[in-house]
Structures are given as structure tokens and as C-alpha cells.
Amino acid sequence: MSDPGRRAFLGTAAAALAGAAIAPGIRLVELAAARSPEEAASAKVRWGLLVDANRCASGCTACVTACRTENGLADTGRPRTDAQWIRIVDLRDPRTGREARAPVMCQHCAHPPCVDVCPTGASFKRADGIVLVDRHTCIGCRYCMMACPYKARSFVHENLADQKPDVPRGKGCVESCTLCVHRVDRGGTPACVEACAAAGHGAMLFGDLNDPESAIAKRLRELPARALRADLALDPGVRYAGV
Amino acid sequence: MATVVHRELSAAAWRFYGPLAVLAAFVAAGFAAFLYMETNGHVVTGMDNQIVWGTPHVFAVFLIVAASGALNVASVASVFGRTAYKPLARFSALLALALLAGGLAILVADLGRPERLVVAMTHFNFKSIFALNIFLYNGFFLIVGVYLWFMMERRMNRYGDRAGLAAFLWRLVLTTGTGSIFGFLVAREAFDSALLGPAFVVYSLAYGTAVFLIAAALVLRWDAQALDAETTVRLGRLLAIFVALSLYVTAVFHLTKLYMTRYHGVEAFLLVDGGVYPLLFWFGQVLVGGVAPLVLIYSPRTGKTRAGVLAAAVLVVAGGLAQMYVTIIGAQAWPLAIFPGWQESSSFFDGEIHRYAPSVPEVVLGVGGVALAAALVAVGLKALRLIPDPCTASSSPPPTSPPARQR
């Protein structure tokens, strides 16, 4: 084979090989975009929440109750050590006396400090922005709890019973809101959002921040909303309006 | 100077095994506390979801910081050529290793999942200063171990100073790393300062020298010797410089915080109206751990006596524990500002001062770690030739000689 001919042959062969190697990957990306629960999380999606404090009704704790039921968080009567994945924070402006309230949970940061500080990499962020704890590699050092600006994490302080099959937990590990990842991966919405809507308040909106046509993206264009501790530039997936 | 001959601890059997048995009992109690905490969970401690690091961390971080400082005497001999300290350099290295082991044992025992230590040794997130510290601690064991070996093995003696320099540089990085564990916590107002790394280096110089003075006096007394007055007084002067530096860096830390309006709340809490924390800061860290040792060492009456210097060293250790308590626990007691400008309250104790009381298992675990360090020193002294033999130590004048300044 002449030299130019051999080069052309090698080029074609390389292109064909590369195509064969990449094709399944392209297929994977398509599937992930379709958010099939069997496929890995995709960076095309950025799951997020919009909390409208103006709609958060006084005295209502539907989101908190739903979270506890969904994730099997029992009330032991020891509030200082019990896990709280979501809580209502009551707010008062000391100058004007204005009052407000809003649920606070893991803010699913794009640059999560808990992930930065975790020595073993047990704290991790999925491609779709959900921040989780790998219960198999968490050593229970609690450095993530020291680092989280939102006090979003809880340490399991005692033995557990009656766990939910979808939400495995373990004494001695740190945990926090998973954005109901087990529901989201099946195409559902987080339990807190569902409960808030069922209670008729609709103060929480869940969706894909990356999709300009999603309800949450449209609402964020209309409503002045902000990130908590925006000064830290963590780009949280949870946004707040009205506070 | 003449070559100093070292030998094992020469205490009679009962004088050795008696104290060792007492230390072993404390270690066993610490182990029992560890089992109790791990069986029942951390619910049996004073720690909770607000104060996540408690008394075990106060003891552990103090020991780790003191470990790097305990190497001072060896460093001063090897790196800075002060040959008068050479006889005690081996003991200095052993003490550093033992203190680090004791501190790390507490940290591991406090983990939620201590049986996963192997995970921590095999899975690394290199962005985590905590993971980097695992390398720094293991490296310290290795480098100081080699340094000790070079000092003890005649054929390797000539490399001793180089190993000493490596150990000295490593310990500077190590303590910077320990301080940075706290300094890098940007969300917590009482931390969030690059100064904490260098501050911990300065604290380590003081705490390590103080612990060395106390340990050397005890060990030599155990060996029916006395830490000679000249070395004691000279180390006392060194301690005073480190204590003064500690006060300086503490002052700079708080003054820079006070300059920034957003930190006025947390500074008022830690320095004025935070209850136990201002008390521990002003009375413990500043007065007992800072001013009083300086007065003792620079006063002509006490500064030239072993008793005066050793008393100063004990005060520095007490002040160091107070400093760790304020730095670690006081910082967590101050609530996070999640909605700056708003008053916050919630079922998760947002917006309120978090209360904490040390529990018995935590204290027992911490004391167990101290006992473990002491027991390791004892076993090391019995097994290895680390104690300078007074009959051959021509550089050490008899204890009664007046203290002399060495250039």
C-alpha cells in the first residue's frame, strides 16, 4: 500500500473505531436526558426548588411532616439529637417587625462545602445537582456539619428501627435532605413539595433549573428570588422569594 | 561536647509497672467510654446536631498541636545547633510521636463509624484539608520515626540533622493544616480566618514546650534524676517567648475580627457576654495560660527555679485546654446566620446560642487519650535508649549550679 493510501486507510479506520466507541455514550446521553430511572443522573438536568415565603402559611408544617413520614425520621423526644432534614425557620426583621417564615433544607449547592471538606468523598454531588451522602464511606467525622452554612445536616445519634426501604440510614453517619432522590429518579417530586401543594399553599416548586420551559425556570424569571448566603457564591439549587 | 550515652529507663520494676498500671487503667476506662459511645450512639454524649465537635476534640486537637511542639527541643538541637539540648532530643521525638498517637486515637474513637478507619485510609478527597491532614499525620510518624532512628543508630548519626530539618519543616506544615481545619470553615463566623493556621503553629510551640518540660521533669524524676536547672530555665525562657507570641497572635486574630462589623456579634459573644466562653478566654487562655506564665518566668524570684518554670508550664497547658475549648466549642455555640439581617428561630435551634455540657464518657475518652500518650512514652523509654545517662552527660552541669545563659 502506498504511503498516502495507507494514511487514508488508517484515518478511516480510526474514525470508524472512534465512532463505535462513542456511539453507546451518545445513546447514554440521550437516555439520561429522557430521565429514565434506570440511567445515570445527567448534567443536562439541574434539579432545584423555589420557595415562596409569601405563600408559606403561618402554623403549617405539612412539608416537615411529609419529609419525616417519607424518609422515616422518627421523633424520639430528643430534639437536639434528632435528625431534621427540613425545618420551618421563623423570621423577624428587627427594624420593621416584619415577620416571615420559610422551610430550610439542604440547598443542593453547585459548589457544596460539605463535599469540599469530606475526607473520604462520602459527601458527593450527582451530575443533576443533588447532594448526597454515601452511607458506605461516611466515617461519621461530622466535618461536613461544621462546613455547611445552612445547618442542613444531621448526625444519626442513636440506633434506628423501622427504616424505609427507599431511604437507608445508619447510626454514626451524617445525612440530610436527598431532595427525595428515590422519588425524583422515578419521575416524581419531593414529598415536601407535594405536601405543600396538597395543603393548598403551593409555596414550593420543584423542577429542572436548566430547562427554560420548566415551571420553576419560568417562575424564577418572574419572581425576584435569591440564594441564601449568596455572599458565599455556592450557587445553591434552592432559591427563596419573599425573604 | 562529649558524646552523651543514652540508656533505657532504669526505674525498679515496681516503680515502672506501678505507674504503667495506673496509666493502663485510664486507657482502659477511655476504651470503655469509646465502646459505650459506639454501642449507644453519640446520644449519650453532650454533643448534638448543634455542637458537633465536643470535649474529645478539645483533648485530641490539644494533643496533636502539642505533639508538633514537643519536637521543639529536638529541632532546636538539630536545626538551630543548640547542642546543649542534644541529650534530650531523642526523648523529644518520642514524646512528639506519643502525643500525636494519643490525639489521633481520641479522634478515631469519636468517629461515628470508627470501624471504617480503613475507608479513611483508602478513599481520599484531596480538596479536603482533613484528608490532607491524614497524610500529614502519617508522614509525621514516618519522618520523626526515621529521625529518631538516625539519632539512635551510630552509623546514621551524620544524617540526624538533615532528618531533624525535614521533621521541623513537616511539623510546620502539619500544624498549619490542623489550624486550617478550622480556618477554612467560611460559614462559621468564629472561624473563617487564614490566621488560624499560623496561630496554631504558634500555639503548638508554646503547648509542646510546656508539655515537654512537664514530661521531662516527670520522666527524669522517675529515673532518679532531675531535669537540670540550667536546661529548665533556658527552656522556660523559650516557653515565655512562645507564650508572648501566642498572646500576640490571639490579639491580632480578635482585633481583625473586631474591625469587621459583621463579626461584632460573635466577638461580643466570645469576649464579653457568652458566659463560660469569655470566662475561659480571659481567665483561662489569657490570664492562666498567658500572663501568669510570663510573670512566673520573667520574675527574678521564680524564673530561675525549676519549680517556677514547671509551674509556668502547667499553667500554659491549662490555658491551652481553655483555648481549645473556646476555639472549638465556643465557635459552634454561636448560631449560623442563614438569613443575615433577620432574627431566626426554629425547631432546629436556629438563631439561638447552642448550649453544651461535657459528658462523662467524653471526658473519660479524652483523659484516656492523654493516658495512652503517657503510656506510650513509658513503654518507649523502657524499650529504647532515650534517656541521657547523667554520668556521661558532661554538657549538663549538676542541678545545683547557677543558671547560665548560653550564647
Q: B56-95, pLDDT tens digit by residue?
A: 999 999 999 999 999 989 988 888 888 888 889 999 999 9
In the structure, what pLDDT confidence band is assigned to residue B358 with cuts at 50, 70 and 90?
A: very high
Map chain A to HEC letters: CCHHHHHHHHHHHHHHHHHHHHHHHHHHHHHHHCCCCCCCCCCCCCEEEEEEHHHCCCCCCHHHHHHHHHHCCCCCCCCCCCCCCEEEEEEECCCCCCEEEEEEECCCECCCHHHHHCCCCCEEECCCCCEEECCCCCCCCCHHHHHCCCCCCEECCCCCCCCCCCCCCCCCCEECCCCCHHHHCCCCCCHHHHHHHHCCCCCEEEEECCCCCCHHHHHHHHCCEECCCHHHCCCECEEEECC
Residues A26 and A133 reside in one and the same domain: no
pLDDT digits (tens, 9 = 90+) for A113-168: 999 999 999 999 999 999 999 999 999 999 999 999 999 999 999 999 889 999 99
What CATH number does residue A98 fall under? 3.30.70.20
Instruction: Give how far A134 is from chain B: nearest CA, Å.
Output: 12
Residues A6 and A89 reside in one and the same domain: no
Residues A18 and A51 reside in one and the same domain: no
Residues A174 and A223 reside in one and the same domain: yes
Residues A176 and A155 reside in one and the same domain: yes
Taking an 8 Å cut-off on Cβ atoms, the answer to whether B343 and A91 are in contact is yes
pLDDT digits (tens, 9 = 90+) for B1-44: 456 888 888 878 888 999 999 999 999 999 999 999 999 999 99
pLDDT digits (tens, 9 = 90+) for B312-334: 999 999 999 999 999 999 999 99
Residue B302 has pLDDT above 70, yes or no: yes
* Chain B residue with minimum CA distance to A155: B49
Q: Is the model more confident about A26 or about A56?
A: A56
CA dist., res. A118 & res. B407, Å (int)? 48
Residue A239 near residue A231, CB atoms below 8 Å: no
Q: What is the DSSP secondary-structure string of B315-359?
A: HHHHHHHHHHIIIIIIHHHSPP-SSTTSEEEETT-TTSPPP----
Torsion B66-B140-B155-B377 (CA) sign:
positive
Q: What is the DSSP secondary-structure string of B226-293?
A: ---HHHHHHHHHHHHHHHHHHHHHHHHHHHHHHHSGGGHHHHHIIIIISTHHHHIIIIIIIIIIIIHH
What per-residue confidence (pLDDT) applies to A4?
54
Residue A230 forms contact with B (CB below 8 Å): no
What per-residue confidence (pLDDT) applies to B7?
86
Residue A120 near residue A144, CB atoms below 8 Å: no
B225-254 average pLDDT score: 94
Q: Is the model more confident about B300 or about A15?
A: B300
Residues A57 and A177 reside in one and the same domain: yes
Residues A195 and A217 reside in one and the same domain: yes
Q: Is the model more confident about B69 or about A37?
A: B69
Residue A7 has pLDDT above 80, yes or no: no
What per-residue confidence (pLDDT) applies to A17?
56
Residue B368 has pLDDT above 90, yes or no: yes
What per-residue confidence (pLDDT) applies to B264?
96
Helix (H) or strand (E) holding B211: helix B196-222
Q: Is the residue at A42 inside a domain? A: no
Q: Determine how many CB atoms are found less than 10 A away from the CB of residue B118.
A: 9
What per-residue confidence (pLDDT) applies to B11?
79
Burial label for A152, CB within 10 Å (0-12, 13-18, 19+), is: buried
What per-residue confidence (pLDDT) applies to B391?
56
Residue A175 near residue A65, CB atoms below 8 Å: no
- The domain tally of chain A equals 2
Nearest to A146 among B185, B339, B347 (CB): B185
> What are the distances in angstroms from CA B296 to CA B241, B281, B315, B330, B403?
13, 20, 10, 29, 16
- Amino acid letter for position B110: D
Q: Is the residue at A186 inside a domain? A: yes
B370-393 average pLDDT score: 87
In the structure, what pLDDT confidence band is assigned to residue B226 with cuts at 50, 70 and 90?
A: confident
Q: Determine how many CB atoms are found less than 10 A away from the CB of residue B301.
A: 8
Q: Compute and round to an integer the Cα radius of gyration of chain A.
A: 22
Taking an 8 Å cut-off on Cβ atoms, the answer to whether B52 and A155 are in contact is yes
Residues A51 and A74 reside in one and the same domain: yes
Residues A233 and A179 reside in one and the same domain: yes
Which among B34, B87, B101, B35 has a CA at the least distance from the CA of B389?
B87
Which among B131, B182, B160 has a CA at the least distance from the CA of B4?
B160
Q: Is the residue at A112 inside a domain? A: yes
Residue B216 near residue B159, CB atoms below 8 Å: no
Residue A139 forms contact with B (CB below 8 Å): yes
Residue B159 has pLDDT above 90, yes or no: no
What per-residue confidence (pLDDT) applies to B77?
85
Nearest to B130 among A78, A119, A156 (CB): A119
What per-residue confidence (pLDDT) applies to B44?
97
Number of residues that this document lists for chain B: 407
Q: Is the residue at A58 inside a domain? A: yes
Nearest to B52 among A100, A139, A142 (CB): A142
- Amino acid letter for position B22: V
pLDDT digits (tens, 9 = 90+) for A165-186: 999 999 999 999 999 999 999 9
Instruction: Give how far A18 is from chain B: nearest CA, Å.
Output: 32
Q: Is the residue at A169 inside a domain? A: yes
Task: Name every chain B residue with its beta carbon within 8 A of the beta carbon of A176.
Answer: none
Q: Is the residue at A164 inside a domain? A: yes
Residue B175 near residue B129, CB atoms below 8 Å: no
pLDDT digits (tens, 9 = 90+) for A215-235: 999 999 999 999 999 999 999
Which among A156, A143, A85 has a CA at the least distance from the CA of A114?
A143
Residues A9 and A68 reside in one and the same domain: no
- A–B interface: beta-carbon pairs under 8 A: 171
Least confident of B146-160, B174-188, B195-209, B259-273: B146-160
Q: Is the residue at A41 inside a domain? A: no
Residue B375 near residue B94, CB atoms below 8 Å: no
What per-residue confidence (pLDDT) applies to B401?
42
**Strand A86-92's sheet: what is its strand order?**
A99-105, A86-92, B343-346
Q: Which domains does chain B have, with CATH numbers?
A: 6-388 (1.20.1630.10)
pLDDT digits (tens, 9 = 90+) for A54-99: 999 999 999 999 999 999 999 999 999 999 999 999 999 999 999 9
CA dist., res. A68 & res. A173, Å (int)? 18
What per-residue confidence (pLDDT) applies to B76?
87
Task: Name every chain A residue with its beta carbon within 8 A of the beta carbon of B120.
Answer: 119-120, 139
Q: What is the DSSP secondary-structure string of B147-209?
A: HHHHHHSGGGGGGHHHHHHHHHHHHHHHHHHHHHHHHT-TTSTTS--TTHHHHHHHHHHHHHH
Taking an 8 Å cut-off on Cβ atoms, the answer to whether B48 and A159 are in contact is no
What's the whole-number average pLDDT of chain B? 92
Residues A16 and A115 reside in one and the same domain: no
What per-residue confidence (pLDDT) applies to A195?
98
pLDDT digits (tens, 9 = 90+) for B280-298: 999 999 999 999 999 999 9
Structural domain that includes position A22? 1-36
Task: Let me know the angle formed at the C-alpha of B325 by B251 and B131, rounded to the nearest 5 degrees.
Answer: 95
B387-401 average pLDDT score: 55
Residue A182 near residue A147, CB atoms below 8 Å: no
Residues A152 and A217 reside in one and the same domain: yes
Q: Is the residue at A25 inside a domain? A: yes
Taking an 8 Å cut-off on Cβ atoms, the answer to whether B184 and A117 are in contact is yes
Helix (H) or strand (E) holding B7: strand B6-7
CA dist., res. B330 & res. B57, Å (int)? 13
Three-class DSSP category at B405: coil
This prediction has a pTM of: 0.91
